[in-house]
Amino acid sequence: MAHPKHRTSKQRKRKRRTHKKAPVPQISTCSVTGEKHLYHRAYYDVEGNLYYRGRLLKKAEEEF
Judged against a pLDDT cut of 80, whether residue 17 lies above it is answered with: yes
Instruction: Determine the 3-state secondary structure of 37 from DSSP.
Output: strand
CA 21 to chain centre: 13
- Check residue 12 and give its pLDDT: 94
Q: CA 37, CA 51: separation in Å to the nearest integer?
A: 10
- Which pTM value belongs to this model? 0.61
Query: Predicted confidence band at 27 (pLDDT cuts at 50, 70, 90)?
Result: very high
List Cβ neighbours of 27 (8 Å cut-off, separation of 6 or more).
36, 37, 38, 39
Query: Predicted confidence band at 64 (pLDDT cuts at 50, 70, 90)?
Result: low
Q: What is the mean pLDDT of the chain?
A: 90
- In total, the chain counts a number of residues equal to 64
Domain limits of the chain?
Answer: 24-64
- DSSP 8-state symbol, 14: H
